[in-house]
A and B are shown apart, each in its own frame.
Chain A
Amino acid sequence: MCVNTTDPGFLVLLQDRYAGFVTGSEHAEIEFDVDLVSPGFADPDAAVRVTHRLGRWSLQRGDFRAEWDPASRRGWIRQTANPYSIDAVLRIVHSLVLARQGGFLLHSASAIRNGKAFLFAGVSGAGKTTISRLAPPDATLLTDEISYVRKEEAGYVAFGTPFTGELAKLGENVSAPIAALYLLAKGPENRIESVSPGEAVRSLLANVLFFAEDEVMVQSEFHSAFEFVSRVPVSRLTFVPDARVWELIG
């Protein structure tokens, strides 16, 4: 993804925020021009809306407006000079791109161990940041907040993301095949339990980041969740805040 800005200060801000994920490649699949505006241009309390009309995606929230045309692969973002607005736009656009390919962004921490990726899903407070903090040195953290799940021919692959949670630490820009998805729960002991396929699908869908008000995309996302559950083991991981939980993983 290529982001164009004429503001040197904003460019430095982006380079710092996405360090490790910035390259000099000129072959971006998506290109955005950022139009920086003065504060107060829009309703700061307006909720996010993502709509599809005449082949173009319109993204808006109180702090930004954006459009993206998948056909031309170009778009624009109008926002103030802050990192949070463009972060939200990038998450939304990535969720749309992934959805078209059978993948998704997932509210989950993820890490690579022994060449395999493990996802730890849960809402705020479920323990994504905690389990990321407890990761042993041989685990490579992909994210403590939002996992990037791509469907490839051989299966599902998790990629590192610069989208951080409470840990405020960027993931590593690497990837690995997904070996398991764990649904996080805190409890008195560390244990892994099986869940029914129905519960797996419900929990997965509850944690998928999806913003689009678009029936075709919603249906696609729904079926992608079933496909994922049919190919990736999903279990409940109950843990105490203790590094020994990682003895169960990998």
Chain B
Amino acid sequence: MSKLYLARNPRVAARSLDGEMMIMSGRDSTLFTLNKTATILWQAADGATPLDEIVESRICAAFDVEPSRALQDAETLARELATHEILQVSEEPIVPQTSPAGDAR
């Protein structure tokens, strides 16, 4: 199974408030509130750490879940976040891009 890499889309605005991660699409102003797993993926999406490492170190450590199932679910979630242009997903490491209006806080 090939590695999967995640990076934050620099074209969205993101803020965490009281433990809630909120993301707004710069393209159409759609507002998303991420659940705990999606928040973990967002925070770990540095373009360099493969998804299986993120799952092992952050998701399996936080939730009582079987690793292979967790990886499968995380990949599904990451690809869904990518369809909303929140994350970028690639089988190669992703070079960070610059945000048009400053990075997410």
Contacts and interface: CB of A to CB of B under 8 A. Distances in A.
B18 interface: yes
B86 to A, nearest CB: 13
B15 interface: yes
Nearest to A230: B17
Given A222-B13, A222-B24, A223-B105, A216 B18 contact: no
Interface in B57-105: 99-102, 105
Interface residues of B, number: 21
Contacts of B18: 196-198
Nearest to A211: B29
The dominant DSSP class at the A interface is helix
A202 B22 contact: yes
A105 to B, nearest CB: 14
B24 A198 contact: no
Nearest to B14: A222
Interface residues of A, number: 19
B22 A201 contact: yes
Interface string B28-70: 1101010000000000000000000000000000000000000
B17 A218 contact: no
Contact of A219 (B20, B22, B24): B24
Contact of B33 (A202, A206, A215): A202
Interface in B1-34: 11-13, 15, 17-18, 20, 22, 24-29, 31, 33
A216 B100 contact: yes
Nearest to B99: A219
B51 to A, nearest CB: 27
Contacts of A205: 24, 31
Nearest to A226: B15
B17 A219 contact: no
Interface of A: 196-198, 201-202, 205-206, 210, 213, 215-216, 218-223, 226, 229
Query: Which 8 pairs across A and B sit closest by C-beta, in order of nearness?
Result: A215-B26, A219-B101, A222-B13, A219-B13, A198-B20, A222-B24, A216-B101, A218-B26
16 contacts: A197-B17, A198-B18, A198-B22, A198-B33, A201-B15, A205-B31, A215-B11, A215-B26, A215-B100, A216-B26, A218-B13, A218-B25, A218-B26, A219-B13, A219-B24, A223-B13
